[in-house]
Amino acid sequence: MTRTGIETALNDLLFNRDLTLQEAADRHFTPEYRQRTDGEWADRTEFLDHIGHLRTVVRDGRVEVHDELYDGSRYADRHTCHITKTDGSTVSMEVYVFADLAPDGRFRRIEETTLMLQGSDTDRNLGSAR
C-alpha cells in the first residue's frame, strides 16, 4: 500500500496545475471522503467545490510538515500552509489533522483544526470546506 500524506495531497490539489482537480482528488481521497474543519462537516463534493474555489484565488504556496505520524490506518500531522494569493497577499495557517486511511492508502476521513497565523479575517474561510 502506498500511503498518501497531507503535504503530497495539498501540493497536488492546490499547486500542481498539471493535474485536474478530479485527478488530484482521486489520487489522494476515496469516493466516500468526508472532512470536518473547525467543527464543520463537508462531503467530498463540498470539499472539492471548496478546493476548486481555492485554485482560483491561490497563486502559489508550500506546505511545511512539522510532525507526521502513521499508525496502521490512522494518520496525524501538524503542518503550516504558506499561501500567496493571486492578489499578492499572503496567508499562513497552522493545521492539526487526524485522519483515517482506506486500505489503498488514500484519505477516507480528515478532522482538522486550523489556526490563522497570518492573513485577514476574510482569509479564515480558506481553511473551511464550506
The predicted-structure confidence for 71-100, as pLDDT tens digits, reads as follows 999 999 999 999 999 999 999 999 999 999
The whole-number average pLDDT for the span 47-63 is: 96
pLDDT above 90 for 107: yes
C-alpha span between 99 and 71 (Å, rounded) = 11
pLDDT at 130: 47
Using 50, 70 and 90 to split pLDDT, how confident is the model at 119? confident
- pTM confidence score: 0.90
In this predicted model, which residue has the larger pLDDT, 129 or 122?
A: 122
